[in-house]
A and B are shown apart, each in its own frame.
Chain A
Amino acid sequence: MEDDATFVRPFIITGGRAEPLQADLRLETLVVAVGVPDETLTFERRHIVAVCAEPTTLAEVASRVGVPLGVAKVLVSDLVVAGRLDCRQPAELPLQMLERIRDHVRAL
């Protein structure tokens, strides 16, 4: 590994925890910041809240903050529980919405 000096084991960031507090976060779950990041948040957590100024999927959060997905899940769920992020999990889509998606796809 060429960047040995700066390499941090991924789950160091979460304090060794690999299980998110919330079990239902999906890759495409949209998360959005509640308020702006302040100095009470550090490093990755602050970066995540900043990235989520606009609704952003969990997968994009992981990619933009540069942490593995499992790590992003733990951090995001911590922030949701702490009230710093809000997440919305869509319920099963109605048939009408599926048809709308299909029509959009056909028109691409």
Chain B
Amino acid sequence: MSGRSDRIVPLAVKIVVSGGLGVGKTTFIGAISEIEPLDTEAAITQVSVGVDSLDGVESKTTTTVALDFGRITLDPTIALYLFGTPGQDRFSFLWDDLVEGALGTVVLADTRRIEECFPAVDYFESHGAPFVLAVNRFDGAERFELEEVREALGLGADVPVLECDARERGSVRDVLGALMDRVIGVRAAPKRRVAMVR
């Protein structure tokens, strides 16, 4: 690698934005991304056969699902990427790819359909991946106390639950800040636990 040693090595980190279909993931990403949320396609082979309605096209063994993502340049050497998980449950096998190496996850919830974020909460809890739950404020939705939401989802006391407006940049920034606090807290925690055992 001659002549490249003095080059600044950039760092790309990612945060995953998850939650049910239509909960505002793309809006959330778009509110803070410096680029129009891009989308790329993850090819799905075989899996969707017989699931997607493809009458008359039985030979089609490939379909695609859009993954959207945004980018925020934090400083000249660090770029933060936000990746939205596909909303439909049947694409949840793609999550492993999305989540691997992620700093943490924002799970968005809509109180009108709170159950739609169950799969996401289950997934991140079972993987021990740090996440925060952000209740996206929808006009006309009944307001719930955040503690009621925590209870409904069976979230531990240490999982941050906060309200947000996915359309507002400042609100999205605050959610990401809370997530980073959580990520740092989780990272620092095992040492404390060891200390307590002793």
Contact = CB atoms under 8 A, between A and B. Distances in A.
Interface of A: 9-11, 18, 26-30, 34, 55, 57, 59-60, 62-63, 68-72, 86, 88, 90, 93, 95, 97-102, 104-106, 108
B101 interface: yes
A68 B42 contact: yes
5 contacts: A57-B81, A69-B42, A90-B13, A101-B74, A104-B75
Contacts of A18: 45
Given A69-B67, A102-B184, A105-B180, 18 more contacts: A9-B62, A11-B45, A18-B45, A30-B10, A55-B12, A63-B40, A68-B43, A70-B42, A70-B43, A70-B45, A93-B103, A95-B188, A98-B103, A99-B184, A101-B78, A102-B183, A105-B173, A106-B177
Contacts of B194: none
B32 interface: yes
Given A59-B40, A69-B67, A106-B177, A30 B183 contact: no
* Majority secondary structure of chain A interface residues (helix, strand, loop or mixed): helix
Interface in B70-89: 72, 74-75, 78-81, 83
Contacts of B173: 105-106, 108
B139 interface: no
Determine the interface band of chain B, counting residues with CB < 8 A from chain A: 35 or more
Contacts, number: 109
Contact of B11 (A70, A86, A90): A90
B1 interface: yes
A49 to B, nearest CB: 16
A86 B9 CA distance: 12
Given A86-B1, A90-B11, A108-B72, A26 B43 contact: no
Contacts of B187: 95, 98
A104 B10 contact: no
B168 interface: no
B28 interface: no
A71 B32 CA distance: 29
A58 to B, nearest CB: 9
A10 B43 contact: yes
A93 B177 contact: no
B38 A27 contact: no
A16 to B, nearest CB: 11
A108 B174 CA distance: 9
